[in-house]
Structure 1
Amino acid sequence: MPSCVNLIGQTEEPARGGNPTAQGVIIYYGKCSDTATQEMIRKNFQKLVEADILSSSFCNASSLCNVGNIQVRCGIVNVRKRRDVQARNQIEVIISVQLPSSLEQTFQTEYDQITAIFQHLEYTLSSLNSSAIVDDLELTFVGIQNKSIEIECPVGTIPAPNMYACVNCSAGTFYDSTIMSCVHCDKGWYQDLTGQLSCKACQEFTTTRTIRAISEDACESACAPGYWSVDGVTPCSPCDTGTYQENYGQIHCIRCRGSQTTLLLAAKSPDLCQEFDIIFPPGQSKNCSLKVINAINTSSVSLTWWIQIRQDSSGKIIHLLNGNDDILSLYIERE
């Protein structure tokens, strides 16, 4: 039996067999400058390969074994021959063979099968006269290069490691058709089924503690705007002054821009960020002092600041001193 897999985004057992495709590049030396010659090579090669492979013992037990569209490319390559480097006309015949797959077969068994098919094809081509591929054209068979094996999986599944089979995307993930891979459900989303194409959203005002939630039970009460916690769910802490948070279920607060700050804790919007330099809490008075370490000789000094003042404030609100010398006093008088 094939080995089970236990990787992120995959179920613990294979979902179904995949369609492994063997690919290779058959190299010939010879000219094929015009498109008509290339098309003749392609058609004759298609017939030859299909007759050779599909009638062999490798494929006659299943109708799923087929040869894909063959491509022909022509160009000039430099070939080293003894001490000289010579330019050669090279023909590349790109071939793909799709094989049946079974969950009962191991990775090694199918790899050996595909390897045997290429060896069989290489033996056939090496003993074949070039006229069987195209008339009046001398071709020299070089070999089969760039041999590889790929597997095509149905939507919602991905290739399993160590076998030619496909596995469902696991619970807590979904299949992203753009990148053809399993992707974790984000915070605030969950997926309780395997092989799905999307995640399910938690109900309003709830979220999950982590990504890749596998049940609706993982949705908990989210921190409200203006609050945060390390996992976005209750218990929550208010955003500190100078920060805010607009959304539910957040793990941090956002700092106000520049020198802006907020009046109170738990700000819910950047509109609550304001520009000011000094704020005195209601009913309190504060003494502020500025110590000048390095004295500078100057004829004038300009001081500017923003001050927030409560609407019911009155009397002297600013008294600026230099030592014992009174420099400035600011009063508010109300009628």
Structure 2
Amino acid sequence: MAPLFGQSCVVSCTQQGYQLDPPNFSVLSCQGNGQWAPGELKGTTCKDIQRPSFSTCPPYLTFNPSPGEIMVNISWTLTPEDNSGDEPTVTCNKEQGLTGEGDFEVRCTATDATGNSKTCTFDVAVQVHRCRSYLLPSFAQFAGVCDTIWGAECNITCNPGYHLTGSSTVTCDFDGTTTSWTAQTTPRCEATQCDPLELPEHVNINPSLCAGPDDVSVGTMCTPYCPTGRDLQGDGSSIVCGSDGQWNRFINGSSEDLACLDITAPILTSCPPPITVTRTEAWGVQVWFTPPTATDSLDGSSLIVTTSPSDLTSPYNLTQDTTFIYTFSDNASNPVNCSFPIYVQDELSPVLVSCPNNTEVSTSQQEKEVTWDPPEFLEPTGDPLDISCNYDNGMATLAVDKDHLIECRATNQDNSKTTTCSFIISVKESHSADNLNLPSKLFYFSDSCGTNETQLAIATAFLNAFNSSGFHEICTEECTVNNVQVTCGPSGRRRRKRRSRRRQMDTPVDLGIWEEHLYLQHPFFKIHKRSALNFEIVIGFSLETNLIVGEGQTDFDAALDAEDKMIGLVETLIEDGQLDLSSSVDGFTAVLDESSFNYEYVELVCVPPYTANNDVYRCVPCGSGFYYGNETQECIQCEIGTYQDTHGQFSCHQCPEGQSTIAVGSENVTQCIDICQPGYSSFTGLAPCNHCPIGTYQEEFFATECTSCPVGTTTVNKGSTSSLECIEFCAAGEYSPSGFVPCMACPLGTYQSGIQRSACHQCPGETTTLQKGSTDASMCILMNVRASHAYMMQAALMELIPSHVSVD
């Protein structure tokens, strides 16, 4: 039956501990519009509002550690419950587990899923059972610390002159209710004495009366000890004369559990300093050194020597930094080590197995594809190599008229040493010279040399004779006569006529139209012999013409043809009388010696920056690594610190800042190598650079060697950059933690024979030194106890007296 208008319904949660949420929907009224007020139940839930509970919450927990312990594991059990049926989460402010003595408040909180919580609080006490302090009998004392916790055992001894009767140990016991001290029999101390002790070899006793000859009073504590240089092995605690007339432990002359063993290490008499060597061979480097020496400090017996490496001897082959160690051991196995480092500076560079030669190729195109066999490198020690080339895969397309540097560099990744394979591939295009020059001389007879004006007139007349001879009409290659110079001197000087290269080959030359034209215009006439003409005029001149290379003809053959034609031209002019100057200079006689024509090999005249190669008669540019010198008109190698990677240049490029080249004539910027920085040097002053070894420094760049520190000083590390890093080291008889100043003198009873040491050696046995700063083991002398004590007191007193006060 449906509810009627005005009726109300009560809404509630069916499970205990839950409440309607929101609560204003707990009563619903049926309205006249058929709707419920205050609204529908959509979104209304039952919310858990009841806190969890603990079925048990302990009021107080007590825990007691076991005998001999002061900590105990604490634990508890809590049973939380929740109306939801789910187990609440429990957190406590203190963890269960091992806990020391004390009282603790524990708060454990149970929280359900909706955040309702309940806290259980209880106390936990950790109580250690203890006895009251034990009341010792008369003349008794504890042997060691006597603790009062349950299970502690305390040992009781008697004072000197008494011996113990009854139990020597009392124990703190707990019977479940109370604690008390228990012993099998009650300890008491009664007066007694002990027999003198019999001591093993080398063992001494303090006081000495413990070894007799009289009996020893009860309670006397006798402490065994060893003389200097020996160490007590076994129970070194005091031996006490007990109240029962017996020593608290047994020893005699044959006791094996108490002995004085040799603990003094042998003394080093010599030990080499650090050594630096340079490795330049694949197999390593031989290290030469003087083996160290040592002596036994107590009895001088022979020593056992071991080394690291085990086969160490001088010389010894090394491939890397190593520390040599000599260990000297005496019969008691006491060792002393001499260790000295060997610094191996690896100077090995990769080995160049093969590298292509310089090659010249030619082409009529602007570029040419060129291939070559890649270079081969080898690293003798097996270190990895990093190989890089400016052109890869052994091929490249190269521009014409240029020298191309092909360079591959192999770098040892371990020491950065490099080896370079470099070669030049020249891609050429032929160049012809502008001119050919034939240096020549003619000799004339005269009765005097005349004046400077006369010789100038002779030169002008000679040049006019050439120009008026029809020379220009027949020399279609623009022939010219230049550099006419006149000299004069007594006759009779010997002359040698050089044959042309073509004539040396006995090859006939056809002068062609040149010869025919000369003979047609100038009929031959005979030259008069000289009679009383005692002076000889020498006219030097250069005959120049263009070099014309015919079809299929080489530059060389074309130059030789031109040479022979120019020689033939001059000889024809001579034979034709056209170079006679006898009537050309007023008042001066100059008669031509018709057999005097003298000439050199024809030479090329090239346009800068090209130079002549007169072996093949070709003008070639200055190659890479060179520049053209305008003053010398020659190719000059690039200076150190510069390079030139192209040909036909008037200057060289400067290396980048901080770099230079090893030698003149560098051809590529890759030959610019880093300059050695301060603290480094190399044979060239360039990379690869080596650290300055210990004992040296270098303040400058580009250094080829390092500067040694002044005598008595050294550096601490490799690669020092200043003389200020050269510091004074400790001399013999001195030491410091670093081995350098400030140094302290070796104390009395010690010595040091080495330099740069961090400690001094103890004098052997019962010996000592008479002064501080002793430098040798021989300064350790034996002194009796009384004299030694007196000397030590005197030495200590002297140190307190000012240096300006004298003591008699």
Work out the CA distance in 2 between the residues paired with 1:148 and 1:200.
36
Quote how far apart the aligned CAs of 1:45 are. 0.7
Quote how far apart the aligned CAs of 1:164 are. 3.3
Quote how far apart the aligned CAs of 1:161 are. 4.1
Counterpart of 2:591 in structure 1 is 139
Equivalent residue for 1:155, pick from 608, 613, 619: 608
Equivalent residue for 1:95, pick from 529, 541, 545: 541
Counterpart of 1:227 in structure 2 is 680
**Higher radius of gyration, 1 or 2:** 2
Q: Deviations over 1:80-100 (max 9, x none)?
A: 9xxxxx993111011112221
Matches within 5 A, 1:67-78: 67-78=481-492
Work out the CA distance in 1 between the residues paired with 2:538 and 2:448.
10
Counterpart of 2:438 in structure 1 is 22
Counterpart of 1:61 in structure 2 is 477
Change (3 A) 1:73 1:185: closer
On the 8 A contact 1:25/1:147 being kept in 2, the answer is no
Counterpart of 2:460 in structure 1 is 43
Work out the CA distance in 2 between the residues paired with 1:261 and 1:116.
81
1:193 counterpart SS class: coil
Change (3 A) 1:28 1:186: closer
Quote how far apart the aligned CAs of 1:110 are. 1.4
Q: Deviations over 1:32-87 (max 9, x none)?
A: 43224323321111011233374253x3233xx3111422111103369xxxxx99
On the 8 A contact 2:441/2:541 being kept in 1, the answer is yes
Counterpart of 1:173 in structure 2 is 626
On the 8 A contact 1:260/1:273 being kept in 2, the answer is no
Moved more, 209-218 or 179-188: 209-218
Work out the CA distance in 1 between the residues paired with 2:679 and 2:487.
63
Change (3 A) 1:229 1:69: closer
Counterpart of 2:555 in structure 1 is 106
Quote how far apart the aligned CAs of 1:186 are. 4.5
Counterpart of 2:701 in structure 1 is 247
Q: Which amino acid aligns with 1:314?
A: M
On the 8 A contact 2:438/2:600 being kept in 1, the answer is yes
Counterpart of 1:31 in structure 2 is 447
On the 8 A contact 1:9/1:173 being kept in 2, the answer is no
Quote how far apart the aligned CAs of 1:157 are. 2.5
Counterpart of 2:269 in structure 1 is none
Quote how far apart the aligned CAs of 1:106 are. 1.7
Moved more, 39-48 or 273-282: 273-282
Quote how far apart the aligned CAs of 1:273 are. 9.3
Quote how far apart the aligned CAs of 1:132 are. 4.7
Matches within 5 A, 1:162-201: 162-186=615-639, 188-201=641-654
Work out the CA distance in 2 between the residues paired with 1:191 and 1:97.
36
Work out the CA distance in 2 between the residues paired with 1:98 and 1:186.
35
Work out the CA distance in 1 between the residues paired with 2:539 and 2:624.
43
Quote how far apart the aligned CAs of 1:190 are. 2.6
Quote how far apart the aligned CAs of 1:168 are. 1.2
1:55 counterpart SS class: helix
On the 8 A contact 1:242/1:273 being kept in 2, the answer is no
Quote how far apart the aligned CAs of 1:19 are. 3.0
2:645 counterpart SS class: coil
Work out the CA distance in 2 between the residues paired with 1:260 and 1:268.
18
Q: Which amino acid aligns with 2:567?
A: F
Moved more, 88-97 or 177-186: 177-186
Quote how far apart the aligned CAs of 1:109 are. 2.4
Work out the CA distance in 2 between the residues paired with 1:9 and 1:78.
53
Work out the CA distance in 1 between the residues paired with 2:483 and 2:425.
32
Q: Deviations over 1:259-299 (max 9, x none)?
A: 79863532446x569798987996366xxxxxxxxxxxxxx
Counterpart of 1:202 in structure 2 is 655
Query: Normalised by the size of structure 1, how large is the TM-score?
Result: 0.66
Change (3 A) 1:163 1:122: same
Quote how far apart the aligned CAs of 1:23 are. 1.2
On the 8 A contact 2:680/2:706 being kept in 1, the answer is no
Counterpart of 2:185 in structure 1 is none
Query: Normalised by the size of structure 2, how large is the TM-score?
Result: 0.31
Quote how far apart the aligned CAs of 1:17 are. 1.8
Q: Which amino acid aligns with 1:157?
A: Y
2:534 counterpart SS class: strand
Quote how far apart the aligned CAs of 1:29 are. 1.6
On the 8 A contact 2:438/2:599 being kept in 1, the answer is no
On the 8 A contact 2:459/2:484 being kept in 1, the answer is yes
Work out the CA distance in 2 between the residues paired with 1:17 and 1:10.
23
On the 8 A contact 1:10/1:170 being kept in 2, the answer is no
Name the % identity.
Answer: 21
Counterpart of 1:305 in structure 2 is none
Structure 2 unaligned residues grouped into runs of 5+: 1-360, 363-402, 404-422, 495-531, 747-771, 782-798, 801-808
Work out the CA distance in 1 between the residues paired with 2:638 and 2:601.
33
Structure 1 unaligned residues grouped into runs of 5+: 81-85, 286-308, 327-331
Work out the CA distance in 1 between the residues paired with 2:664 and 2:459.
50
Q: Which amino acid aligns with 2:486?
A: V
On the 8 A contact 1:24/1:144 being kept in 2, the answer is yes
Equivalent residue for 2:743, pick from 313, 319, 322: 313
Moved more, 218-227 or 272-281: 272-281
On the 8 A contact 2:444/2:590 being kept in 1, the answer is no
Change (3 A) 1:38 1:207: closer
1:70 counterpart SS class: strand
On the 8 A contact 1:23/1:147 being kept in 2, the answer is yes
